[in-house]
């Protein structure tokens, strides 16, 4: 069987694979990383997230999402409401810590360019969960930019730690 390879369009290769565009991805990384770092730092300094009342803030968030799961046109899908009701709410304290430290780790990894594509993936995962819970805010913009960072994983961390880390784990340029 003959292998057929379809080459990337030139614009795609330039945007996502050319190191000359790495400066743009640095700016995107810094913006998204800063947003995650601020969100995580705010939670880290709140007793309702990681302190003596850990889980109380996220419990309120979950209950608010569940209120939007009913009616003719719910803002929260039934399957996600089931997840919140049966998995997240009973483990609110655990999810509180996961969200707080997840935001901090993703923020730092993006700012320093540490496994940028993986960090952007986990940031996108968190944004999707916020969107599934009907928390729009800045989440669609962050999700869009993170999707682009995932596509540009080869060069998005070029000006950062990925320049050294990716070759060490066997990802050659």
Confidence of residue 173 (pLDDT cuts 50, 70, 90): low
State the pTM of this model.
0.92
How far apart CA 60 and CA 52 sit, in angstroms, is: 16
**Is residue 125 within 8 Å of 110, Cβ to Cβ?**
no
Confidence of residue 7 (pLDDT cuts 50, 70, 90): confident
**Is residue 74 within 8 Å of 68, Cβ to Cβ?**
yes
93 in a structural domain? yes
Instruction: State which residues form the domain around 143.
Output: 28-168
Over residues 11-20, the mean pLDDT reads 92
Structure tokens at 135: 């928390």
8 in a structural domain? no
Domain count, the chain: 1
The DSSP call for residue 114 is S
pLDDT given at position 172: 67
72 in a structural domain? yes
Over residues 145-149, the mean pLDDT reads 98
Place of tokens 């990383």: 33
What angle, 0 to 180 degrees and rounded to 10, lies between the N-to-C axes of helices 116-132 and 139-151? 150
- Inform me whether the pLDDT recorded for 123 exceeds 80: yes
Structural Rg of the chain based on CA atoms:
19
């Amino acid at each position: 069987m003959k292998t057929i390879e379809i080459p990337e369009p030139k614009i795609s290769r330039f945007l996502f694979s050319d190191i000359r565009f790495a400066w743009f991805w640095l700016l995107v990384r810094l913006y998204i990383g800063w947003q995650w770092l601020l969100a995580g730092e705010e939670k880290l300094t709140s007793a309702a997230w990681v302190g003596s009342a850990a889980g109380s803030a996220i419990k309120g968030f979950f209950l608010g999402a569940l209120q939007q799961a009913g009616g003719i046109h719910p803002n929260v899908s039934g399957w996600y409401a089931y997840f919140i009701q049966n998995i997240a709410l009973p483990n609110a304290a655990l999810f509180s810590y996961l969200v707080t430290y997840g935001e901090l780790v993703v923020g730092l990894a993006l700012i320093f360019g540490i496994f940028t594509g993986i960090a952007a993936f986990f940031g996108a995962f968190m944004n999707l969960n916020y969107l599934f819970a009907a928390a729009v805010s800045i989440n669609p913009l962050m999700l869009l930019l993170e999707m682009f960072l995932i596509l540009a994983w080869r060069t998005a961390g070029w000006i950062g730690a990925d320049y050294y880390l990716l070759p060490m784990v066997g990802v050659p340029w």
